[in-house]
Structure 1
Amino acid sequence: MNGDEQLLRGRVYGCDHDAPNPGPLPARTYAALVGGPLDGLLLDITGWTAEEVDGGVALATELSRWPGGRALYDPGADEPRTPGRGVACHFYYSGDTP
């Protein structure tokens, strides 16, 4: 694991690594990112509809194949979701886009 990957572990996407609390908050709902450049991060999906979750995400990152590009993540097919707070589902890496 390189330094950039180590920095991301246990952190919420979009929080600065040096923020006072870059980790998950108890009253929020998250998708765990699996694989790719953002592996190990949590994505805050609090308030997202089922359709929004089903659509997956394109997340900006300097760690993608194209610096300044986006890493694509999609929910697992037929994977159950846990309603409520904490990690509700997983989003799996499916590629990069400029």
Structure 2
Amino acid sequence: MYEPMPRPIPRRVYGADHDDPDPGPRRGRSYRELVGGPLDGLLLDVTDWSGDALAEGAALPTEIGAYGAGGRALYRPRPGEPGKWDWTGDAP
């Protein structure tokens, strides 16, 4: 029996609207993969970020973290793998 190969699920970019027909990455933009925590698997667009900002990481607003609406998920660059940012916790 023939079983088709599963189609890969398109990657979503953090901040894309849920009803956006194409919430994935755009050509010519730079992204970091968010690993762990409430935003696990999303891509963060860092195209216009400075080197200092990229080294620092981000506190990203999210309603699905430990603090609900108004809370933030904290992500920092993974040592030796700058394309991935690891979750370090939530903040109010």
TM-score norm. by structure 1 comes to 0.78
* 8 Å CA contact 1:11, 1:17 repeated in 2: no
Q: CA deviation at 1:47?
A: 2.1
| Runs of 5+ consecutive residues of structure 2 not aligned to the other structure | 1-9
Instruction: Tell me whether 1:96 sits opposite 2:77 in the alignment.
Output: no
Q: CA deviation at 1:21?
A: 1.4
More helix by share: 1
Percent identity between the aligned chains?
A: 50
Coordinate RMSD, CA, aligned: 1.3
Alignment length (residue pairs): 82
Are the equivalent residues in 2 in contact too, given 1:33–1:42 (CA < 8 A)? yes
The residue number in structure 2 matching 1:70 is 72
Of the two, which has the highest radius of gyration? 2
2:35 is the counterpart of 1:29: no
Write the deviation string for residues 53-74 of structure 1: whole angstroms up to 9, x where unpaired: 0111000111100102000000
Q: Within 5 Å, which residues of 2 pair with 1:36-55?
A: 36-55=37-56
